[in-house]
Amino acid sequence: MQDGLQYICTASVPLSQERGPLHIKRTPVLSFALLVQVSHIGRVATWFEEMYPKIRWDSQKAYLRRELAVSEARALRRALYRQWLFSLAFHTPEVTRTNRMNAASVANRCRLLRTWSTDELLELEDARLCLESLLASICPTNGQVFWNSGADTFLGPCQQLQRPRFYPFFYDAHAEATELETYSIPAAELRVQTMEGWGDDIDQYHILSSMLKLNPSQVMVLYENALCRRDVEVFVDEHGGGNWFWENGENLLHTWMLVLHGRGLPIHEVREKICSGLLGIAVDDEKYAIEANVPGFDISHYQSDVDFASAYSSGARFVIIKATEGTTYTDPSFSDHYEGATNAGFIRGGYHFAQPASSSGAAQANFFISNGGGWSSDGITLPGMLDLEYNPSGDDCYGLSTSELVSWISDFIETYNSAEGVYPLIYTSTSWWTECTGNSDAFGSKSPLVIARYSSSVGELPAGWSYYTIWQYSDSYTYGGDADTFNGDESQLQAIALG
């Protein structure tokens, strides 16, 4: 059997002391039941082989899409088998929110991952990100659902929803292919029209953390069958779910980070390279991968001590620094941050946190320009950035209607353009933009997009933009602040600074 598969087949009681350590290879007695189990696990892996290129090279990187080489397919299978084994062992009702971080539990999980090489651990994280992307499409945010609500949701008499049938074998890895229902329309296409939202981006983050406790077989079944939120909840409940499942995140990522940190690897840099295609299962041609992004980060006074020199040495080339908020607040760390970034050699710029309910867009644009948000064509200063996101202390959309917010944004960017000669960048998330502007397409031809999405892929963009300029993909950057990546090479980044 291929590496990892035999462990799944012999780990029916994975935490039992009688079984011994999980990584010890066992030779099971050959039987028909074993062959059935092996066949099912292999079919699941084959399904993921077909899905991986679509996930790994999404619409933003379609020009790189290709079939997996034999060695890459084998690496994907091995990573899936090991993720499956980890799920069987450590994502159980016995591993609760209160005990999962005690020393014995953490040591037990780390003991398993330490038996695998560093390259194999990188492949494991790549496979985990693949599962996360699939689950994100099954459990979309409210904004994503709203954005897709314009589709024709009428289903004709030949396209009636077929309820998924769930079987206990999906939990213990035994299955027959003939027992899977099929649709005249693929479930993934129907789901765009029928799936309810699961909250905002933060809610989705916690939901995905819980859902990642599912094994690859269960993720596959949900992707092929689930059409609405109730389908997902029933599936989880019927396969061992409950409060322990929804109130408890997955353990694999934390364990993976501990093991790699123990080996002296820079965790966030490694994950950035996996996302950009330089590490993992299918490695892109380095020329394309390097040209596709430039690392950077954004900061405010919450990051009082930023190591700019180390960040620059690690490859980061731009910093976006909070300058103002509303018409009365200036960030107390802006000057120090701006000077530190400049001295370290960064391309840098300021950002303004919008408070649309407090004053006009023009007033806030002028306040921003007067307090560090201006632009000059010196090649190292980015146009200012307008930060539009959920209201941290009230109504999501600041109590304004969609038309009022669109008018406010227009007032801000036009005032900025009149004063500085360039349009500011617009920072937002697809969910907020959809909810609060009605997914307006009025600004894509003017302001570059800085998209916020903490996931393995950018996902759907707000209306009006066919591509993003900067992607904020994590709220934890090694040297302080949020982690960003520029969608282009360094010369293109500097071109924006030059205007």
Question: In this predicted model, what pLDDT tens digit does every residue of 179-195 receive, in sequence order?
Answer: 444 445 677 777 877 88
- On the CB side of 319, CA atoms within 13 Å amount to 30
The DSSP symbol for 355 reads -
Q: CATH 3.40.630.30: does it fit domain 297-498?
A: no
- Would you say 133 and 52 are in contact if contact means Cβ atoms under 8 Å apart? no
DSSP-derived 3-state class of residue 389: coil
The DSSP symbol for 161 reads -
- For 444-488, the DSSP string reads TTTSPEEEE--SSS--SPPTT-SS-SEEEEES--TTSSEEEEESS
Strand partners, 297: 319, 483
Residue of 352, 416, 342, 354 lying closest to 381 (CA atoms):
342
pLDDT of residue 369: 97
- Would you say 438 and 416 are in contact if contact means Cβ atoms under 8 Å apart? no
Q: Return the domain boundaries, the chain.
A: 5-254, 297-498
Q: Which residues are known to be catalytic?
A: 298, 389
Helices then strands, counting H and E runs in the chain, come out as: 21, 9
Contacting residues for 422 by C-beta, under 8 A, at least 6 apart: 375, 383, 416, 499
pLDDT of residue 335: 95
Per mean pLDDT, which range of 142-156, 166-180, 424-438 is the poorest? 166-180
Torsion of CA 23, 24, 26, 32, to 10 degrees: -10
Residue of 269, 276, 273, 290 lying closest to 491 (CA atoms):
290
Q: pLDDT of 270-313, one tens digit each?
A: 888 888 778 899 876 544 444 457 899 999 999 888 999 999 99
Q: pLDDT of 354-407, one tens digit each?
A: 999 999 999 999 999 999 999 999 999 999 999 999 998 888 899 999 999 999
CA angle 162, 166, 171 (to 5 degrees): 150
Please give the residue that has the higher pLDDT: either 288 or 317: 317
Say which amino acid occupies 484.
D
Residue of 491, 495, 471, 494 lying closest to 483 (CA atoms):
471
Is this structure's pTM higher than 0.75? no
Per mean pLDDT, which range of 231-240, 320-329, 342-351, 375-384 is the poorest? 231-240
Where residue 149 falls among pLDDT bands split at 50, 70, 90? Answer: low
Share of the chain above pLDDT 70, in %: 83
Is residue 17 predicted with pLDDT exceeding 60? no
Contacting residues for 268 by C-beta, under 8 A, at least 6 apart: 474, 476, 477, 478, 483
Tokens of 389: 């996101």
